[in-house]
Amino acid sequence: MNNSYASTLTLRMHREGKTILLVATALLLGALFGMDYLEWPRAVSMGLQLVFLGLYLAVVQFFRNPVRTTVAQANEIIAPCDGEVVVIQEAIEDEYFKEKRIQVSIFMSPLNVHVNRYPNEGTVRYAKYHPGKFLVAWHPKSSTLNERTTVVVDGPKTGPVLYRQIAGAVARRIKMYAKEGQPVRAGQECGFIQFGSRMDLFLPLNAEICVKIGDRPAGGVDCIARIPS
């Protein structure tokens, strides 16, 4: 598979993290310049400064939004997020299709970019948010019991493709940008999930899968599957 992170060196912050980043910046500046006014031992002051610097860098790392260039054929399904492929199997999708499809699941750790992207071009036919539990993202029941969203994008060459954002044990905030009837492009931002989480794809049974278990695709860059013409 192609593991080239095209145009990822330009660092941007995602809009979902701007408020948190402002707070983290204020705390860091307070720690760096405010300790001089406190009569604490130098070692204690430096230790606290390092802690706040670490927290600031963690916020920047988590909410980074690298520039990605999507180059895809109309029949290709692109990775909707960064992470590790943990499931490739035939499964019954019982919310929208109500039939057997190929399920491909990608687990996102807190260290991954957490921007979510549309896997194919087309029109959003279905978009629904489901409240739920916060089981660990790799739990077999997380796709049906956890907080999640379900979106179906119907493409002219791919047909309808369903993706599902699934909250994990520490992911408490899912952002879904999809709206029914909206035309979308492959690689375009479709949402954001804070902290560890998972995305499931449900593809046609004739899809040619281009990844294997353990692969780490780049969201908006690497091809997950191709749909035969």
Please give the pLDDT value at position 181: 97
142 flagged as catalytic: no
Residues 66 and 41: their CA atoms lie apart, in Å, by: 40
Q: Which residue numbers in the chain have pLDDT < 70?
A: 1-11, 13-18, 21, 28, 31-32, 34-39, 59-62, 132-145, 168-172, 195-196
Please give the pLDDT value at position 189: 93
Please give the pLDDT value at position 12: 74
Q: Per residue in 192-210, pLDDT tens?
A: 887 668 899 999 999 999 9
Among 85, 126, 98, smallest CA distance to 225 is for: 85
Tokens of 146: 């956890």
Domain residue spans in the chain?
A: 15-62, 76-226
Q: How many CB atoms lie within 10 A of CB 35?
A: 16
Please give the pLDDT value at position 5: 40
The residue written with tokens 């191709």 in the block is 226
Please give the pLDDT value at position 196: 65
Please give the pLDDT value at position 22: 73
Q: How many CB atoms lie within 10 A of CB 123?
A: 15
How does the average pLDDT of the chain come out, rounded? Answer: 83
Q: Give me the catalytic one of 4, 143, 197, 229.
A: 197
Please give the pLDDT value at position 195: 67
Please give the pLDDT value at position 133: 64
DSSP letter for each residue of 62-100: HTB---------TTEEE-SSSSEEEEEEEEEETTTT-EE
Q: Per residue in 57-86, pLDDT tens?
A: 776 666 777 888 888 899 999 999 999 999
The CATH class, in words, for 76-226 is: mainly beta
Please give the pLDDT value at position 210: 97
Please give the pLDDT value at position 33: 73
For residue 65, how many C-alpha atoms fall within 13 Å in the half-sphere facing its CB? Answer: 19
